[in-house]
Amino acid sequence: MRSSVVALVLGAVAGCSSTSSTSTTTPPADGGVVGDGGGGTDGSSGDAAAANPDQEKAYCDAVASHATCGGGGSSDTCTDSAKCLYGRLMTSVAAAAYDACYSAPSCKSDDDCVNEAGKAAAGNDASTSYTNDCLAKTTECSLTSKNELCGAAVFAYTGTGEAFKACLAKTCSEIQACWDAALVPIKSCKG
């Protein structure tokens, strides 16, 4: 099972494989969407699509460990698409938190672990503030189908949390396009 954020966008755009890199979205002149993966306090290197063999291996090890959990295994596999999402786009801080959460003996769900990873990358205060602000905005704009984009998980991926925060400043008619643009790097991992 993929996290809500990942599940929401997968299926749209093909791209990231073990030998290719994704281009990332650069911010528009009005500063609406960040998404360029520029490093920072989130523990990332700044290059969202750069291959990170150690982080990819750690993710694959977590998947293998999760397969030993009590539910009889995992349907997740260590695919190029998954390595792109969890080994390249996920910040290093988030990836470490995700791997610990998903691996045995924790064996938590992908959704739970991506949310924990986002909290680790952003910090509890920042992720809680974003969630509250986002839920208020989605209510104001009648975007109830997008409530899953208000969780801490958006901070697990380089630049995505910052982009989503910037989208909250948009008008109701602009927010969907802003979120769509912020999700381009994640969508591009679909293999």
Q: pTM of the full predicted structure?
A: 0.73
Average pLDDT value for residue range 27-31:
35
Domain count, the chain: 1
Whether 29 is in a domain gets the answer: no
Burial label, 145 (beta-carbon count in 10 A; 0-12, 13-18, 19+): exposed
Whether 124 is in a domain gets the answer: yes
pLDDT confidence tier of residue 73, bands split at 50, 70 and 90: low
Whether 111 is in a domain gets the answer: yes
Whether 115 is in a domain gets the answer: yes
What CA–CA distance (Å, rounded) separates 34 from 164? Answer: 8
Whether 110 is in a domain gets the answer: yes
What CA–CA distance (Å, rounded) separates 111 from 118? Answer: 11
From residue 186, how far is each of 7, 46, 139, 156 by CA, in Å? Answer: 10, 15, 25, 11
- Predicted pLDDT of residue 29: 34
Give the H/E segment covering residue 142: none
> Considering only CA atoms, which of 190, 185, 188 is closest in space to residue 156?
185
| Most confident range, picked from 12-26, 69-83, 152-166 | 152-166
- Predicted pLDDT of residue 150: 92
**Is 144 in contact with 170 (CB distance < 8 Å)?**
no
Give the pLDDT confidence of 94-139 residue by residue, as tens digits: 999 999 999 989 899 989 999 999 999 999 999 999 999 999 999 9
Range of the domain at 154: 4-24+34-187
pLDDT confidence tier of residue 46, bands split at 50, 70 and 90: very low
Whether 178 is in a domain gets the answer: yes
**For 84-183, where are the alpha helices, taking DSSP H only?**
92-102, 110-122, 124-140, 160-167, 172-182
